[in-house]
């Protein structure tokens, strides 16, 4: 009887958790871009009373006798199905039709969302009004302006000088002047993950990658100081020009020769740089091509201030492989390293292990399209949630009845021996 009490307690806990999930789904029935979750149960350990027996010439085999010891919630899995469309008429309201997530940038890195209720700030940047994070895409460059989807991501900006603007299904942003002249301003970018259900929700309808979601093909902005105290941007998420080389994931960073006009030797504190990153990876390979100077020693690598052992290295090629985790990676080069002369190019390559998803313009690489003037509604199915609520309620009630029945049986056992 004692065992049935504890088994029923696991049922109470499981159905209470299911009720919590149902309550959250119903509470977010009107949340833009919300993805409902489903509760999955698994059996717990079973007590084996008798093991299985093999068949013999005289008798058949016997099955094991086991008694289950309860239930556990094995997973609360989000359902990334398409939500319905709500027409708003506001051009900065954008809905994703199909796969993909908007990419937002803050000072702490990149975040992802299906909530496309955006506004323009005072500078004309397309932002999420609840967080102030900028919406990233590809800025138009050149004259006439054109879009290069291989360029680093940058905030989408719509200057106030244009009387109106439009956003096409492929994410192209076009400004219209007062005279009717159209100008390409940029193009929205969407990120797609190998396993979107592995993303971690952090509030404000935002998600971040995890070890099981994979990572999108996006780099984040950071800087590192090498030589003469000059800041060299190794990873760029929107800057362009001589001093801002681009980097994608897996990453190859090429620093233009114009960064250094003569061969320079790094010495002292100037040979240390920090690369903050937030990719959910477990391993990485750094490769260095330092112009004609080459490498004269092994770099020192730390993550979050903890030294990381180099598991393999090739000094001549400047290739170093190590195991790491998310955080701030600090690279210290040996003092004898020479930077490339003006005629050469310094190249740093970081290949991070892990599954990589697609990132690009809407309608490419399996990524969905966008619709301006509409929002994606929550995918919560209220009829399903109310059914699950009944199941959770009855399951909780049945397990509580098991406890009271077990208690009644225990009371009967106790009363079998009448006290004098």
- Res 194: pLDDT: 85
Same domain, 289 and 349: yes
pLDDT beyond 70 at 202: yes
- Res 320: pLDDT: 47
Same domain, 370 and 399: no
pLDDT band (50, 70, 90) for residue 150: confident
Same domain, 238 and 182: no
Q: Residue 243: inside a domain, yes or no? A: yes
Same domain, 263 and 296: yes
Same domain, 127 and 252: no
Q: What is the pLDDT of residues 214-249, one digit of tens each?
A: 766 544 333 333 333 333 333 333 222 222 233 333
pLDDT band (50, 70, 90) for residue 16: very high
Q: Residue 312: inside a domain, yes or no? A: yes
Mean pLDDT of 121-141: 92
Among 90, 248, 97, 265, CA closest to 165: 90
Same domain, 407 and 323: no
Q: Residue 208: inside a domain, yes or no? A: no
Q: Residue 31: inside a domain, yes or no? A: yes
pLDDT beyond 70 at 143: yes
Same domain, 173 and 62: no
Give the phi and the psi of residue 289 in degrees, each rounded to 5. -125, 100
Longest dimension (CA), the chain: 106
Mean pLDDT of 66-73: 91
pLDDT beyond 60 at 199: yes
- What is the average pLDDT score of the chain? 74
Distances (CA, A) of 193 to 106, 215, 238, 247: 20, 6, 21, 19
Query: 36-40, 54-58, 323-327, 349-353 — which one is most confidently predicted on average?
Result: 36-40
Residue 395 contacts residue 39 (beta carbons within 8 Å): no
Same domain, 146 and 168: yes
- Res 331: pLDDT: 53
Q: Residue 146: inside a domain, yes or no? A: yes
- Res 306: pLDDT: 63
Q: How far apart are CA 219 and CA 389, in angstroms?
A: 42
Query: 191-195, 353-357, 380-384 — which one is most confidently predicted on average?
Result: 380-384
Query: 107-116, 153-162, 299-308, 369-378 — which one is most confidently predicted on average?
Result: 369-378
Distances (CA, A) of 350 to 166, 289, 316, 344, 353: 38, 12, 17, 20, 10
Query: 93-107, 277-291, 379-393 — which one is most confidently predicted on average?
Result: 379-393
pLDDT band (50, 70, 90) for residue 189: very high
- Res 47: pLDDT: 85
Q: Residue 420: inside a domain, yes or no? A: no
Show the tokens assigned to 118.
């955006």
Same domain, 141 and 236: no
Q: Residue 210: inside a domain, yes or no? A: no
pLDDT band (50, 70, 90) for residue 278: very low
Give the phi and the psi of residue 208 in degrees, each rounded to 5. -130, 155
- Res 57: pLDDT: 87
Same domain, 249 and 351: yes
Task: Tell how strand 346-352 and strand 283-290 pair up.
Answer: antiparallel
Mean pLDDT of 35-43: 95
Same domain, 226 and 351: yes
Q: To 5 degrees, how large is the angle CA 248–CA 254–CA 259? A: 135
Out of 47-61, 102-116, 314-328, 396-410, pick the least confident: 314-328
Q: Alpha-carbon Rg of the chain, whole angstroms?
A: 29
Among 259, 266, 274, CA closest to 222: 274
Same domain, 338 and 393: no
Please give the share of the chain, as a percent, with pLDDT higher than 90.
44
Q: Residue 138: inside a domain, yes or no? A: yes
Mean pLDDT of 341-355: 42
- Res 234: pLDDT: 37
- Res 268: pLDDT: 30
Residues of the domain holding 272:
222-355
Q: Which residues contact 110 (CB under 8 A, 6 or more apart)?
A: 103, 104, 136, 218, 220, 237, 278
Structural domain tally of the chain?
3
- Res 325: pLDDT: 45
- Res 261: pLDDT: 27
pLDDT band (50, 70, 90) for residue 357: low
Q: Which residues contact 390 (CB under 8 A, 6 or more apart)?
A: none
Q: How far apart are CA 235 and CA 222, in angstroms?
A: 5
């Amino acid at each position: 009887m004692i065992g049935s009490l504890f088994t029923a307690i696991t049922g109470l806990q499981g159905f209470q958790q299911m009720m919590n999930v149902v309550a959250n789904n119903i509470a977010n029935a009107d949340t833009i871009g919300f993805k409902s979750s489903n509760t999955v149960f698994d059996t717990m350990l079973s007590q084996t009373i008798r093991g299985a027996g093999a068949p013999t010439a005289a008798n058949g085999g016997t099955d094991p006798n086991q008694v289950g010891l309860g239930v556990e919630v094995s997973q609360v899995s989000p359902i990334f199905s398409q939500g319905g469309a709500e027409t708003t008429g506001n051009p900065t309201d954008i809905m994703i039709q199909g796969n993909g997530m908007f990419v937002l940038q803050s000072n702490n890195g990149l975040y992802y969302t299906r909530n496309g209720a955006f506004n323009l700030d005072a500078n004309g940047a397309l932002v999420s009004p609840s967080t102030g994070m900028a919406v990233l895409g590809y800025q138009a460059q050149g004259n006439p302006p054109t879009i290069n989807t291989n360029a680093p991501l940058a905030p989408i900006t719509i200057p106030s000088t244009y009387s109106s603007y439009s956003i096409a299904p492929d994410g192209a942003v076009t400004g219209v002047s007062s005279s009717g002249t159209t100008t390409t301003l940029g193009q929205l970018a969407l990120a797609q993950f190998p396993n979107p259900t592995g993303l971690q929700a952090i509030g404000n309808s935002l998600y971040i990658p995890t070890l099981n979601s994979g990572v999108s093909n996006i780099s984040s902005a950071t800087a590192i100081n090498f030589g003469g105290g000059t800041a060299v941007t190794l990873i760029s998420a929107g800057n362009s020009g001589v001093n801002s080389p681009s980097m994608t994931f897996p990453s190859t960073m090429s620093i233009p020769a114009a960064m250094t006009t003569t061969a320079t030797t790094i010495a002292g504190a100037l040979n240390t740089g920090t690369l903050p990153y937030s990719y959910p990876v477990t391993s990485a390979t750094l490769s260095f091509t330092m112009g004609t100077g080459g490498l004269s020693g092994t770099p020192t690598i730390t993550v979050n201030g903890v030294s990381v052992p180099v598991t393999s290295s090739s000094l001549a090629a400047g290739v170093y492989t190590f195991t790491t985790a998310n955080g701030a990676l600090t690279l210290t080069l040996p003092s004898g390293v020479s930077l490339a002369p003006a005629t050469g190019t310094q190249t740093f390559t970081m290949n991070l292990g892990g599954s990589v998803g697609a990132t690009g313009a809407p309608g490419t690489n399996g990524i969905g399209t966008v619709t301006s003037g509409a929002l994606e509604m929550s995918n919560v199915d209220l009829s399903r949630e109310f059914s699950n609520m009944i199941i959770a309620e009855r399951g909780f009630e049945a397990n509580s009845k098991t406890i009271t029945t077990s208690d009644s049986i225990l009371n009967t056992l106790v009363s079998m021996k009448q006290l004098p």
